[in-house]
Homo-oligomer: A and B are copies of this chain.
Amino acid sequence: MGPDVSARLVASHLTDLVLHDDRCFDPDPAIRAAARALYEETRGLPIVSPHGHVEPRLLADNAPFPDPTALLVTPDHYVTRMLHSQGVALASDARKVWRDFAANYHLFLGTPTGYWLDHELHELFGVRTRLSAETADMVYDQVAERLGSPEFRPRALFDRFNIEVLATTDGAADSLEHHRAIRASGWQGRVIPTLRPDRLFRIAAPGWALEVEALAVASGTTIGDVAGFIGALIDRRGFFIQHGATATDHGVVEPFTEQVPLDVLQHIFRRALDRSATAEDQRRFEGHMLMEMARLSVEDGLVMQLHAGALRDHDRVLAERFGPDRGGDIPVAVEFTRNLRPLLNAYGNDPRLMLILFTLDESAYSRELAPLAGYYPAVRLGPPWWFHDSMQGMRRFREQTSETAGFWNTAGFNDDTRAFCSIPARHDLARRMDANYLAGLVARHVIGIADACNVARALACDLARDAYRLAPLS
C-alpha cells in the first residue's frame, strides 16, 4: 500500500460518518453542476409514497420504536438476507444482534442497504461515527436514546419526513381498523390503504378456503359461486375506496391474462371450493381475475398495480420454519408482451384504466415494458423495484426506458418499504439519481436545463400523484 493511500486510509478510519452533499452524482464537473441544480429543485418537495409496506398500526398506535435492532435490522429483509448469505445467524438478544450486524457492516458496502442505513444513522439519529464492531455499542446507545424521545414517535417522524401521503398494502378482508383509528385520532397525516387480493386468486393453495371465508365475512355475503366471489370483491373495493384507497396491487410470478369463458370459470371455481383445483386451474383463474380487476378498475377508478417476477419462498426450508415472505424470494424471467395482450386489448386503450407495471427482470425494460408504456394509454411504468431501487439499478432503468417510453409514461418513485425510517433515504436517492440522469442529458446537450427541471419535478412528485390519482397533476 503506497504511503498516500495508507495515510488516507487511516484518516478515513478516524473521520466520522460523513454524507457528502454530492453523493451519487457523476464526478464530471458539467454533470455534477447540473445534477446539483436539478436536485436542489426537488430535495425539498414533499414525499409522495403511493406504494409500500409500512404497518398502519405503527401510525395508529404511535408508540415509540422498541430498540435499534427492532427498528433497523430484524424487520428489514434486505439486511437479514445479506447476513444470512454470509452465515451470520441472528441472536435472540437485541444488542447481540446489533453487534453482529455492526461487525458485518462491511457486507453492505456499495449496496443500497448500506447507503440507506448510513443516511438514516446520519440524518435521523445524528450518528457521526461509522458503524463497525468497535462502534457498535456507542451507536446502539445513541439510537436507543433518541428512540425514547417524543420527536421519534412515528407520527412526529411522518411530519418531519414531509410525507404528503403514505399508502399501505392490505389484504382484501382487512378491517382497515388501523386506518380508521388514524382518521379517528384527529391526526392529519394522510395514510391510505391499498387493496391486495392476491391470496384470494391462488385457488390451489392450502390456505385459500380460509381466505375466501374471511372475504365472505368481511363483505357480509356468502360465496357459493364466482359471481358471489366477484361481488364480494366489488364490495371490498368500495370499502377500500371509502377509506381513501386509490389503488389495488397484484403480485404474480407470470403476468398471464385470459378472458376465461363463464362456464369454464364456474367449473374452475367449483373445483376450487371442492379443494380440487389444479395448478392449471389456478393459472387460468388468476389470469381471468387480472382481467376482472382491470374491468372493475375501469368502473371504479382504482389504479391497478402489477408486480411480476418474484418467485416467493425459494428456500422452502426457511419458509416452512419461519413462514412466508421471510426473504427467500428470487426473481425469474418474465414475459409481458404476450401475457398482457388479452388484458390490454380489452382495456389498454381505455382512458379510465391506469395500469402500473413493475418487474424484477431488467431485460424486459427496453424489450417489453418501455414499448408497452410508450403505446398503450393505460400503461405506466413503475419505478425500478426491490433489488433495483439502487444507484446503478435506477440508472439502468432510466437509460433503458426513457428513450422509448419518455418520462411521462412512468409513474414516479415508490419506496416500497416496510422500513418506515428508510423512506426519506430512498426518495432522496431516487431524486439524486434522476437529477444525475437528467444532468447527463443536459451536459450532452440533448435537453436544456429548463426542461430538465420540469422533468425532475415531475419524476419526484407529480407523476406519482398523477399515476396514483392522489392529486391533480399541476
Residues of A within 8 A of B (CB): 1-2, 4-5, 8-13, 19-20, 22-31, 37-38, 40-41, 81-82, 84-87, 106-112, 115, 309, 311, 314-318, 327-333, 335, 337-338, 341, 344-345, 348-349, 351, 360-363, 366-368, 370-377, 379, 387-388, 390-393, 396, 399-400, 402-409, 438, 441, 443-451, 453-455
Whether B409 pairs with A86 at a CB distance below 8 angstroms is yes
* Additional 6 contacts, C-beta under 8 A, given A86-B377, A392-B403: A23-B446, A25-B444, A85-B375, A110-B438, A110-B441, A314-B344
- Which listed residue (B5, B27, B328, B367) contacts A333, Cβ 8 A? B367
Task: Report B-chain residues with C-beta under 8 Å of the C-beta of A25.
Answer: 444
Pairs A–B under 8 Å by Cβ, sample size 28: A5-B38, A5-B40, A5-B453, A8-B37, A12-B451, A13-B450, A25-B444, A27-B443, A85-B374, A87-B351, A106-B451, A110-B447, A309-B367, A311-B338, A314-B375, A315-B344, A316-B345, A330-B368, A331-B371, A332-B367, A333-B363, A361-B367, A362-B363, A366-B388, A387-B404, A390-B404, A392-B399, A392-B400
Task: Report B-chain residues with C-beta under 8 Å of the C-beta of A316.
Answer: 345
Whether A349 pairs with B315 at a CB distance below 8 angstroms is yes
Min CB gap A8→B, angstroms = 5
Known contacts A446-B110, A454-B106, A375 near B84 by CB under 8 Å: yes
Whether A403 pairs with B110 at a CB distance below 8 angstroms is yes
Task: Report B-chain residues with C-beta under 8 Å of the C-beta of A408.
Answer: 86, 106-107
- Which listed residue (B367, B373, B406) contacts A108, Cβ 8 A? B406
Complex Cα distance, B446 from A24, in Å, reads 6
Task: Report B-chain residues with C-beta under 8 Å of the C-beta of A337.
Answer: 311, 314, 330-332
Task: Report B-chain residues with C-beta under 8 Å of the C-beta of A404.
Answer: 111, 387, 390
Whether A315 pairs with B106 at a CB distance below 8 angstroms is no
Of listed A40, A360, A451, residue having the most chain B CB within 10 A: A451
Copies in the complex: 3
Complex Cα distance, B288 from A255, in Å, reads 31
Known contacts A37-B5, A361-B367, A446 near B403 by CB under 8 Å: no
Task: Report B-chain residues with C-beta under 8 Å of the C-beta of A87.
Answer: 351, 377
Whether B449 pairs with A109 at a CB distance below 8 angstroms is no
Residue of B nearest to A30 (CB): B27
Task: Report B-chain residues with C-beta under 8 Å of the C-beta of A391.
Answer: 403, 444, 446
Complex Cα distance, B12 from A387, in Å, reads 38
Complex Cα distance, B447 from A9, in Å, reads 12
Known contacts A110-B446, A315-B375, A327-B375, A82 near B387 by CB under 8 Å: no
Whether A4 pairs with B37 at a CB distance below 8 angstroms is yes
Task: Report B-chain residues with C-beta under 8 Å of the C-beta of A19.
Answer: 445
Complex Cα distance, B84 from A371, in Å, reads 12
Known contacts A2-B37, A31-B27, A406 near B110 by CB under 8 Å: yes
Complex Cα distance, B25 from A46, in Å, reads 35
Min CB gap A88→B, angstroms = 9
Whether A449 pairs with B331 at a CB distance below 8 angstroms is no
Task: Report B-chain residues with C-beta under 8 Å of the C-beta of A450.
Answer: 8-13
Whether B109 pairs with A451 at a CB distance below 8 angstroms is yes
Whether A367 pairs with B360 at a CB distance below 8 angstroms is yes
Task: Report B-chain residues with C-beta under 8 Å of the C-beta of A399.
Answer: 392, 396
Complex Cα distance, B41 from A369, in Å, reads 37
Known contacts A349-B317, A374-B81, A368 near B331 by CB under 8 Å: yes
Known contacts A1-B453, A363-B367, A317 near B345 by CB under 8 Å: yes
Whether A390 pairs with B403 at a CB distance below 8 angstroms is yes
Task: Report B-chain residues with C-beta under 8 Å of the C-beta of A8.
Answer: 37, 449-450
Task: Report B-chain residues with C-beta under 8 Å of the C-beta of A447.
Answer: 109-110
